[in-house]
Structure 1
Amino acid sequence: MIKQINTAAALALALCAVPATASPASELEGLWRNPKGSVTVRIGQCGPTLCGRVVQATASAKAKAAQGGTEALIGTTILSNITPAGTKRWKGRVFLPKQNMHANGNLRLAGNQLTVQGCVLGFICKDQTWVRVS
């Protein structure tokens, strides 16, 4: 009986020693800052897709978002359902805090710059180029 317990314990320890394999991190993951430097977004895994949440914002950015109906800018998910759409390209949804609305989104990565585009009605589009913070 003791030998069986020791064998089971050894097996359990051996399984704990095997490193877990994680999916490779996306090159989008990390901190990104908007052109004015007023908002910082952390892009990371959210279930099977990527998302981006506001982690830092100036008082001015918070006030403008609140005027548009987004009361708490910090913690707000502004990028969601981000999935690959080609080499250095992704698609998903973009939340526009100042307008309190969602748009179809396209993301394009070039070095340490990420162009984030939001389009409503399929043809009215606006984009920003964010810079990687880390």
Structure 2
Amino acid sequence: MSKFITALAAVAALFTFVSAPAHAENLGVWRNPKDNIRLHITDCGPSMCGWVVYASRKAEADAKKSGYDTLVGQQVLRDFAPTGNGNMRGKVFVPTLKVTLSGTAEFVDARTMRAKGCVLGGLFCKSQVWTRVDGGVQQVRVSKTGE
């Protein structure tokens, strides 16, 4: 059970989702609550994607134990798209576990995002609040139709 909780925490640690128009070009850099992972979220055609642009020494060490030379540069968010009501859904790759899971996000304001990750069909969930760190304050929103 301890490994499961650790895995769930790792999934939540990689959630950096932001609600945005489907064709926003750059949503900026976001940090998790411990500031040991930072992601750059940007437009990837019809959806949003995110890449690791900063990882703490510990996060890098964990990635190396999983067979990665570095965590920086890994694409961890894929296919994030609006689902309505200010929410997004997509796929999250967890390099330390070598798995891809589903995730959701709720955009609270231009600098705050609440991410939620669940496993086993929603049986176990974890939420985190992420903060934009690159100074951006533009209004970001999700269209209700996903367009």
CA distance in 1, matches of 2:33, 2:84: 25
Larger-gyration structure (1/2):
1
What one-letter code is carried by the residue in structure 1 that aligns with 2:120?
L
CA distance in 2, matches of 1:64, 1:115: 24
Contact 1:94–1:118, Cα closer than 8 Å, also in 2: no
CA distance in 2, matches of 1:86, 1:131: 21
What one-letter code is carried by the residue in structure 1 that aligns with 2:77?
L
Q: Name the Cα RMSD after superposition.
A: 2.0
Unaligned runs of 5+ in 1: 1-22
Q: TM-score, normalised by structure 1?
A: 0.73
Contact 1:70–1:100, Cα closer than 8 Å, also in 2: no
Match of 1:75 in 2: 73
Q: TM-score, normalised by structure 2?
A: 0.67
**More deviation in 77-86 or 119-128?**
119-128
Task: Provide the identity percentage.
Answer: 37
Query: Per chain length, whose mean CA-contact separation is higher, i.e. which structure has more relative contact order (CA < 8 Å, sep 6+)?
Result: 2
Structure 1 residue 70: deviation in Å? Answer: 4.1
Structure 1 residue 77: deviation in Å? Answer: 1.1
What one-letter code is carried by the residue in structure 1 that aligns with 2:119?
V
Question: Structure 1: which 4+ aligned runs deviate by more than 4 Å?
Answer: none
Secondary structure of the corresponding residue to residue 29 of structure 1: strand
Structure 1 residue 25: deviation in Å? Answer: 2.2
Q: How does 1:90-101 map to 2 (within 5 A)?
A: 90-101=88-99
Unaligned runs of 5+ in 2: 1-21, 135-147
What one-letter code is carried by the residue in structure 2 that aligns with 1:91?
R
- Deviation by residue 1:17-41 (Cα, 9 ceiling, x = unmatched): xxxxxx8527x81110011111110
Secondary structure of the corresponding residue to residue 65 of structure 2: helix
Number of aligned positions between the proteins: 111
Structure 1 residue 62: deviation in Å? Answer: 0.7
Match of 2:29 in 1: 31
**Higher-helix-fraction structure:** 1
